[in-house]
Structure 1
Amino acid sequence: MTTDLSLAVVGAGPVGLALALQAARALPEARITVFDARPAEQDSVRDPRTLALSLGSVHEFERLGVWADIAPASTPIRAVHVSQQQPALLPELLRLPQAELLLTAAECGVEQLGAVVSHGALVGPLQAAWLEAVAREPERLAARFASPVAAIKQVSGGVEVDCAVAERFDLAVVAEGGVFATQARKALAHDYGQTAWVGQVTLTDADPAHAGTAYERFTPQGPAALLPLPAQDGAARAALVWCVQAGDDPVRDLDDAQRLAVLNHVFHPSVGRLTAITPLKHFALGLNAERTLVDGRTVRIGNAAQTLHPVAGQGLNLGLRDAHALVTALQREPDIAKALSKVEWQRAPDRWALIAATDFLARSFTWRLPGLASARGLGLAALQRLAPAKRLLARQMMFGWR
């Protein structure tokens, strides 16, 4: 076990805090410092950004002892329904088989496939748990909020973290990623020319049997998704992620009534009827990824390593798996260089499989090849009929590539 490790964690978001908490337990003699530019007292609980957690991520938060505080603000995902709008010009008799795929927790033998939670409801308990850990062991754990890191410099046998004054650590983990539009471009970068509009919607006439279902709809413009949220005043709600082409944006100039009309046309009938929508925010979509997680004694995880298209909703889950693998390697291998080498090759299959899958799907919405949409629809229909393939896909969504 690496007992004399000094570790700097840059970024107190979900991935950085989860890594710090796990490292504090798995490496009981290591010195761990968490840096973040935001003040600790900043009200992160009110951050409404919606996150989709896989079952593996839920299990991780259970192991860290924070899920009991997160769960009341979360909504279990009991099923995932993926479908595609049929090509509008095909005559009725020539329509393809139903382009739908339904994955359920019941057929996978689990209680839920994952959960939906707001960013604030996730960060709040994680931050509270870290501050409690720091209070218990101030001699080895530290929380440096309101402390932006200006630079990380490689030095012999470690790194130098520049935050007001330079401080040396054996290892630095960067978990501070940001969004595609504001990031410096990494080794692999591609602008998809798409915009994601995000907000919340209220639904009526939804089938109660479909409660807890996450919906994704492939449209000619791009994917649109609804993630289940806790009901409010007896009304069903969902988080909306609506991806469209940036160069021909059909959403920007619409008012709320027009947006609802379009969405009711876009989504599958089983969703129910969308009756209200919050003001939407938008951001640019692209791929921005490092070729490797490890650079000397610096490791990048989460959005700091790869920013992905939200088509699969797996970016956070991938970062949490990176964090888990890193702490496990440091716990089992006393030589830091060897531990980092293990992390690099162990994480490669899961990481690159997800990068490739999301990149392919995202780019496919910009291709104008005849029959491409039909082929994608046939793929969904075929997958629905292949039980072993469905179970494999569901397992990868829940736990990643193993």
Structure 2
Amino acid sequence: MRTVQTASPVRLAIVGAGPVGLALAIDAAQRLPDADITVFDARSLERDVSGDPRTLALSLGSVQWLQRLGAWPSDGVQPILEVNVSQQPPSAPPVFAALFGEPQVRIGAQEEAVPMLGAVLSYGRIVSTLQQAWLALETAQPHRLHTRFGTPVGAIKPVDGGVEIDAGIAERVDLAVVAEGGVFADQARKAVSRDYHQCAWVGTVELPPEATPGVAYERFTRHGPAALLPLPGGRPSLVWCVGSDDDPVAELNDAQRLAVLNTIFPASVTPLRSISPLKRFPLGLNAERTLTEGRTVRIGNAAQTLHPVAGQGLNLGLRDAAELVNLLRQGGDIEAALRRLEWQRGPDRWALIATTDFLARSFTWTLPGAGAARGLGLAALQALPPLKSLLARQMMFGRR
């Protein structure tokens, strides 16, 4: 890939060394050869994150980008070969179900002519891989690449022609990117915010030995969506969303939870054999109206925290990061580049925010026939291959 030098060196500060912040740092280091880049994070460099079991689902576009950066793990990754979306019965009018069966949408990598639809791996696996790649770049170019782990940023404020970063001492940079977002429950409320009064119970389950590997399942229930994300070893990650005001999962023991899940998921993946202890996370929408404010950019969860129903929040942040580097690489005025970032990323960003918000709220509707309408929508999507392929492409690469 040809490298284009910027018109003048850029001093770039990246706040947050999670997947989005580190991927941005690596891409900028490789494609902005004159840029001075500093990564800040409150976490100590000595703190080992490789064992963090939280599960992340990456789209094919995200996988390909990280592979190009040389920051994709060599093991501990499960490719997604098929996505199966269905609704717990009754999900369609009885006559329809009797004639055609319960509706579902099945999207396969083979029918889309791609090696995988995406991949699933642990948070610890991806962050440790990205961190290793970044530190290798820093070692090779210490004059312009810097790591400030164990250094929380207390404040970011605009100054004439740049941004001032307060991380113990005040430092002036040309551009600050905030990629440190946290989870919905811990965030200050942004301009667009909605508490769904739902929560996600997260853990792992054990599949029966005959289950097909590499299949991601999403099942719509009257309480909310439940998903199984494939992981190596036959123990997929479970994300089970229910209402939080009258939580039907909280008082159940593990055996009862397993019994309920075996009534939720389709016969192709049951009976589930065991379940791990589950953790509970409140769910909501929390988004900034814009990615940019002056010379400060927010990406990832710092820009928008979404309901997990579409599983696309991380992928959106990675696409924002890649486009930011693309625009900076063209050189010229930084503020003009940030205006272009806002315009170019707006359609993809707001389409995903609107879609996840609509789906999340639809599970709280008590309108008669809402579930049947959702089931018929799934059946229609499966029956229209061009529309289904369009959806698959958006899942893999975002809105283009």
1:244–1:295 Cα change, 3 Å: same
Which residues of structure 1 form unaligned runs of 5+?
Answer: none
Partner of 1:332: 330
User: In the aligned structure 1, how far is the partner of 2:58 from the partner of 2:226?
Assistant: 18
Partner of 1:29: 34
Q: Does 1:299 align with 2:297?
A: yes
Partner of 1:347: 345
Q: Determine what percentage of the aligned residue pairs are the same residue.
A: 63
DSSP-derived class of the 1:110 partner: coil
Deviation at 1:2, TM superposition (A): 4.3
Contact in 1 for aligned 2:92/2:103 (Cα 8 Å): no
Partner of 1:215: 217
1:312–1:89 Cα change, 3 Å: closer
User: In the aligned structure 2, how far is the partner of 1:80 from the partner of 1:365?
Assistant: 21
Partner of 1:20: 25
Map 1:190-269; keep pairs closer than 5 Å. 190-207=194-211, 210-231=212-233, 236-269=234-267
In the comparison of the two structures, how many residue pairs are matched?
394
Partner of 1:160: 164
| TM value normalised by structure 2 | 0.96
DSSP-derived class of the 2:142 partner: coil
2:153 aligned partner, one-letter code: V
Deviations 1:222-251 (A, max 9, x none): 0000011111xxxx2110000000011111
DSSP-derived class of the 2:22 partner: helix
User: In the aligned structure 1, how far is the partner of 2:177 from the partner of 2:143?
Assistant: 20
DSSP-derived class of the 1:322 partner: helix
User: In the aligned structure 1, how far is the partner of 2:93 from the partner of 2:250?
Assistant: 29
User: In the aligned structure 1, how far is the partner of 2:154 from the partner of 2:284?
Assistant: 25
Which residues of structure 2 form unaligned runs of 5+?
Answer: 1-5
User: In the aligned structure 2, how far is the partner of 1:62 from the partner of 1:246?
Assistant: 39
Deviations 1:142-166 (A, max 9, x none): 0000000001001010000000001
Deviation at 1:10, TM superposition (A): 0.2
Partner of 1:53: 58
| TM value normalised by structure 1 | 0.96
User: In the aligned structure 1, how far is the partner of 2:93 from the partner of 2:30?
Assistant: 59
1:198 aligned partner, one-letter code: V
Q: Does 1:189 align with 2:187?
A: no
Deviation at 1:98, TM superposition (A): 2.1
User: In the aligned structure 1, how far is the partner of 2:111 from the partner of 2:91?
Assistant: 33
User: In the aligned structure 2, how far is the partner of 1:260 from the partner of 1:143?
Assistant: 44
Q: Does 1:111 align with 2:115?
A: yes
Residue among 58, 61, 69 paired with 1:64: 69
Residue among 73, 78, 93 paired with 2:76: 73
Deviation at 1:93, TM superposition (A): 7.8
User: In the aligned structure 1, how far is the partner of 2:97 from the partner of 2:83?
Assistant: 27
Is the helix fraction higher in 1 or 2?
A: 1
Could you list the structure 1 runs, at least 4 aligned residues long, displaced by more than 4 angstroms after superposition.
88-97
Deviation at 1:347, TM superposition (A): 0.2
User: In the aligned structure 2, how far is the partner of 1:163 from the partner of 1:263?
Assistant: 47
User: In the aligned structure 1, how far is the partner of 2:74 from the partner of 2:143?
Assistant: 32
Map 1:61-140; keep pairs closer than 5 Å. 61-67=66-72, 70-87=73-90, 97-140=101-144
Contact in 1 for aligned 2:306/2:313 (Cα 8 Å): yes
